[in-house]
Amino acid sequence: MANDRSGLDVARLRADTRGCAEVVHLNNAGSALPPSIAVDTMVEHLRREEMIGGYEAHAQAAERIESVRDSIGLLLDTSGSNIALSISATDSWDRAFSAINFASDFGPHTKMLASSSEYASNVLPVMQLARHHGVQLEFIPDDENGITDVAALESMLDDQVAVVLINHCPSQNGLINPVAAIGHALEREQSNAWYLVDACQSVGQMPIDVTEIGADFLSVTGRKFVRGPRATGFMYCSPRSLAELEPFPADLHGAHWDPDGYTMRSNAQRFESWEKDYAALLGLGAAVDYSLALGLDAIGQRITYLAKEMRRMLAEIPGIEVLDRGIEKSGIITFRHERIEAAAIVAGLKESGINVSLGTPEYSQVDYLAHGVTSMVRVSPHVYNTREELETCAEVVRGLSR
216-234: pLDDT as tens digits: 999 999 999 999 999 999 9
pLDDT in tens, 33-74: 999 999 999 999 999 999 999 999 999 999 999 999 999 999
CATH of 10-30+295-401, one of 3.40.50.720, 3.90.1150.10, 3.40.50.300, 2.60.40.10: 3.90.1150.10
**Residue 342 in this model has a pLDDT that exceeds 90:** yes
Q: Where in the chain is the domain with CATH 3.40.640.10?
A: 39-293
Q: Quick check: pTM over 0.85?
A: yes
Q: Which residues pair with 142 in a beta bridge?
A: 148
- Helix ranges (H only) for 235-364 are 239-244, 278-294, 296-315, 342-351
SS3 state of residue 264: strand
pLDDT in tens, 57-116: 999 999 999 999 999 999 999 999 999 999 999 999 999 999 999 999 999 999 999 999
Going by C-alpha positions, the residue among 290, 309, 300 that lies closest to residue 330 is: 300
Cis bond leading into 239, ω under 30°?
no
Interatomic CA distance for residues 141 and 152, integer angstroms: 7
User: In this structure, are residues 48 and 57 in contact, taking their beta carbons and an 8 Å threshold?
Assistant: yes
* DSSP assignment letter at 252: T
Give residue 296's pLDDT. Answer: 97
Fold designation for 39-293 = Aspartate Aminotransferase; domain 2 (3.40.640)
**Residue 1 in this model has a pLDDT that exceeds 60:** no
User: In this structure, are residues 322 and 334 in contact, taking their beta carbons and an 8 Å threshold?
Assistant: yes
Interatomic CA distance for residues 204 and 202, integer angstroms: 6
Measured in whole angstroms, how far is the alpha carbon of residue 187 from the centre of its chain?
A: 24
Mean pLDDT value across residues 296-302: 98
Going by C-alpha positions, the residue among 108, 87, 89 that lies closest to residue 97 is: 89
pLDDT range class, residue 393, cuts 50, 70, 90: very high
Percent of the chain's residues with pLDDT above 70: 100
Interatomic CA distance for residues 166 and 168, integer angstroms: 6
Interatomic CA distance for residues 136 and 160, integer angstroms: 10
CB within 8 Å of 258: residues ≥ 6 apart: none
- Helix ranges (H only) for 134-260 are 150-156, 179-188, 210-213, 239-244
